[in-house]
Amino acid sequence: MRTSRFIVSGSINVRGRAIRDVDGDIIGYRQPDGSIVRLSICLEVENKKGDEFRHVVTNQQMSDIGFSIDKYDRSDFF
């Protein structure tokens, strides 16, 4: 397996009440209906026909298809 690096940067308009982790960093937003919205970086798997997609988000799911995400160099949510 070879390693491929990526960088993700951007901004997003949000609504709802910020949810913070134990370090005080924002990890998501609680919506008025009680749901939680979190920014997610995942793998999208497209079938051979190109008409179905699934999102791979956990380490186990990634491992099952031969991928793994190493430690994040940096992950900030302001």
Would you list the domain boundaries of the chain?
A: 17-64
Does residue 65 contact residue 56 with C-beta atoms inside 8 Å? yes
CB atoms under 10 Å from CB of 2, counted, come to: 3
Mean pLDDT along residues 38-43:
86
pLDDT at 9: 83
Band of the pLDDT at 78, cuts 50, 70, 90? low
Strand partners, 19: 28
Question: Which pTM was predicted?
Answer: 0.60
pLDDT at 76: 67
Buried b (16+ CB within 10 A) or exposed e, 48-68: eeeeeeeebeeeeeeeeeeee
